[in-house]
């Protein structure tokens, strides 16, 4: 399957949710090719679904779902404040679970607004952020104020992930 096919496929299949028949017709796919793509692109499809849910939950209006998806896929997948990536976050959550209350939010990166009282629609105001930093920053600190806090959070998780 040509690589160029993957992006329109993900868009139609997981973002704009077009009917399967239409996707097959538009992209010239046989039924077998269609289902093969859903398997090959399973992890990209999962990401696109997550982005779609986030887009709906945050009530974006001024930017399109596709623009938001493009923004998301172009972001480096680390917390903007403490630098943790999703794999490290997942290990950290598993370690903390042994002696803490089970966290109610996910191990995946979340959206943070640099300036909290601006709309989510302003894409320049958005950064990716881990649950821990997002929770600590809340709506109280702005981006600049929280940067040193993020550095301290990094010291804590680095120690937990790399015990001496
Ligand atoms: Zn963080």
pLDDT digits (tens, 9 = 90+) for 103-160: 666 678 999 998 888 887 888 899 999 999 999 998 889 999 999 999 999 999 999 9
pLDDT over 70 (residue 44): yes
Output the CA 66–ligand 1 centroid distance in Å.
26
Would you state the structure tokens that stand for residue 35, as one six-digit string? 């289902």
What mean pLDDT comes out for the span 30-49? 94
Q: Which domains does the chain have, with CATH numbers?
A: 1-74 (no CATH), 76-164 (3.30.40.220)
What mean pLDDT comes out for the span 28-54? 94
pTM (predicted TM-score): 0.82
Distance CA 102, CA 3 (A): 40
Output the CA 159–ligand 1 centroid distance in Å.
14
Do residues 88 and 98 lie in contact, with contact meaning Cβ atoms separated by under 8 Å?
no
């Amino acid at each position: 399957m040509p690589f160029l096919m993957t992006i329109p496929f993900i868009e139609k299949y997981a973002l704009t949710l077009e009917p399967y028949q239409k996707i097959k017709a538009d992209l010239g796919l046989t039924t077998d090719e269609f289902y093969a793509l859903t398997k090959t692109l399973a992890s990209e499809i999962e990401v696109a679904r997550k982005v779609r849910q986030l887009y709906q939950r945050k009530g974006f209006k001024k930017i399109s779902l596709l623009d938001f998806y493009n923004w998301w896929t172009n972001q480096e997948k680390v917390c903007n404040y403490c630098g943790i990536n999703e794999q490290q976050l997942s290990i950290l959550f598993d370690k903390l679970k042994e002696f803490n209350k089970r966290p109610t939010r996910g191990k995946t990166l979340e959206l943070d607004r640099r300036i909290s009282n601006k709309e989510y629609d302003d894409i320049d105001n958005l950064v990716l952020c881990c649950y821990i930093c997002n929770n600590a920053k809340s709506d109280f600190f702005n981006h600049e104020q929280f940067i040193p806090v993020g550095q301290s959070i990094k010291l804590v998780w680095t120690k937990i992930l790399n015990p001496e």
